[in-house]
Amino acid sequence: MLEDLKKEVYEANMLLPEHNLITFTWGNVSGIDRDSGYVVIKPSGVDYEQLAPEDMAVVDLEGNRIEGNLNPSSDTATHLELYKAFPDIKGIVHTHSPWAVSFAQAGREIPAAGTTQGDYFYGAIPVTREMKKEEIIKDYEKQTGTVIIETFKEKQIDPNQVPGVLVNDHGPFTWGTSPKNAVHHSVVLEQVAEMTYHTLQLNPNGIEMSQDLLDKHYLRKHGKNAYYGQK
């Protein structure tokens, strides 16, 4: 079942150690088949060196196991909430990459300070509020997804234009048009987190780029009038 998607999700997971986004098993990638509503995700706590495409777990959008002998990632419920709320996305990544986690632990968004971020994120990368005691005690992983969704609704952010978030005191989630595209956004998020951290050391005030520059860099790569790259 979904053998092509399993292979795609496996390959995307293997990009995490390749890009130094994870330590040990601190991360996961999933992908969704929108026709069936089934999600393929990395199994929980399995070393990357031991993984194979056939090890990927398959669940439905309610978290019921459809196929696979291994337990799906402990973050599966978060992924499922995002797939249900953001219908255009087809891949999700969660890591504990250190620069992004630094902002998450500080409870700070990553401001749109320069064009590297503007090429991929149409504005600041938001941070969620702290989770409440009752959200942590019951259905923690599902509630993590709920808090992410709440953040995007309250801040009126389009998840297709800002494909990533920092969960307060936890770490980043990114998403995209495929599992590999979601990993691409995770790599970019980690890079801009490091750049922005150093920028704040040099100048802690007013580092946001102008709206005109943000518009130029984001819209030249995205939307109907985009002209970056080859046709």
The whole-number average pLDDT for the span 87-95 is 98
Confidence of residue 192 (pLDDT cuts 50, 70, 90): very high
Confidence of residue 164 (pLDDT cuts 50, 70, 90): very high
- Active site members: 119, 228
Checking if the pLDDT of 187 tops 90, the result is yes
Mean pLDDT taken over the chain: 97
Checking if the pLDDT of 223 tops 90, the result is no
Checking if the pLDDT of 219 tops 90, the result is yes
The whole-number average pLDDT for the span 160-189 is 98
Condensed to tens digits (0 to 9), the pLDDT of residues 12-65 reads 999 999 999 999 999 999 999 999 999 999 999 999 999 999 999 999 999 999
Predicted TM-score (pTM) of the model is 0.96
Residues in contact with 198: Cβ distance below 8 Å, sequence separation at least 6, in sequence order? none
Checking if the pLDDT of 78 tops 90, the result is yes
The whole-number average pLDDT for the span 103-123 is 98
pLDDT score at 224: 87
Confidence of residue 231 (pLDDT cuts 50, 70, 90): confident
Helix axes 76-85, 140-154, angle to 10 degrees: 30
Give the domains, in start order, of the chain with CATH numbers.
Answer: 3-219 (3.40.225.10)
Checking if the pLDDT of 230 tops 90, the result is no
Q: What is the percent of the chain where pLDDT is above 90?
A: 95
